[in-house]
Chain A
Amino acid sequence: GQNIDQPTEMTATEGAIVQINCTYQTSGFNGLFWYQQHAGEAPTFLSYNVLDGLEEKGRFSSFLSRSKGYSYLLLKELQMKDSASYLCALDSGGYQKVTFGTGTKLQVIP
């Protein structure tokens, strides 16, 4: 089976940098996703890491370490609109089964 852990809630200040961590336990996986979900809306794709290391995409970056069972999402220059839940998900199995963690609710304050 799989176990995905994320902090339940975080608060950060507008303009700052925040790191949202995700740890997982799994027997094997193809890659790791990060999704953003605003309240009352559908999740939207942010990133997909297959290899170890940091992938940068504008203000958002995602990091993966397979040996440590660890990923993080880094959000820079925080904006109020970044207040949302951030979901970590594993893509595993030959048929790319995607299972989600419970998500981290981020609140950005002025």
Chain B
Amino acid sequence: DARVTQTPRDKVTEMGQEVTMRCQPILGHNTVFWYRQTMMQGLELLAYFRNRAPLDDSGMPKDRFSAEMPDATLATLKIQPSEPRDSAVYFCASGPQGGGGYTFGSGTRLTVV
């Protein structure tokens, strides 16, 4: 089965440190989403890309978060500097052109202490 691969699976870091999360979308998928999930807010859309171009990152705190797709096989989400309120599970999802079902990765559980 084709999968979306996210690394790391878990990350514990100290406040102020830089965190980079990586996502390998399914080969051939041209749409990539980054979501953050917390108990209080549910799944929040942070950013998404179509054909590697950023389409909407309005859900992302611009002062500390950045999302990029350096190539079609890699999407990154970076937080610098990290804060305790960033603690959440970060999911990447990818999908084919034309929409339909999107496939989620297993997520990165981030804890900032």
Contact = CB atoms under 8 A, between A and B. Distances in A.
Q: Indicate whether A and B interact.
A: yes
Contact of B100 (A48, A87, A101): A48
Nearest to A47: B101
Contact of B104 (A30, A44, A103): A44
Interface string A11-46: 000000000000000000011010000000111110
Contacts of A95: 48, 50, 55-56
Contacts, number: 51
A100 B42 contact: yes
Interface of B: 31, 33, 35, 41-43, 45, 48, 50, 55-56, 91, 93, 95, 99-107
Given A30-B99, A41-B106, A96-B95, 11 more contacts: A33-B102, A42-B105, A42-B106, A87-B43, A91-B99, A95-B55, A97-B45, A98-B33, A101-B42, A102-B41, A102-B42
Contacts of B99: 30-31, 48, 91, 96
A43 B104 CA distance: 6
A99 interface: yes
Interface string A67-110: 00000000000000000000101010001111111110000000
Given A97-B56, A103-B42, A45 B50 contact: no
4 A-B pairs with the lowest CB-CB distances in the bound complex, closest first: A45-B101, A102-B42, A42-B104, A100-B43
Contact of A45 (B33, B45, B103, B105): B103
10 contacts: A33-B101, A43-B43, A48-B99, A95-B48, A95-B56, A97-B48, A98-B45, A98-B93, A98-B102, A100-B42
- Central interface residue in B55, B99, B105, B106, by most chain A CB within 10 Å: B99
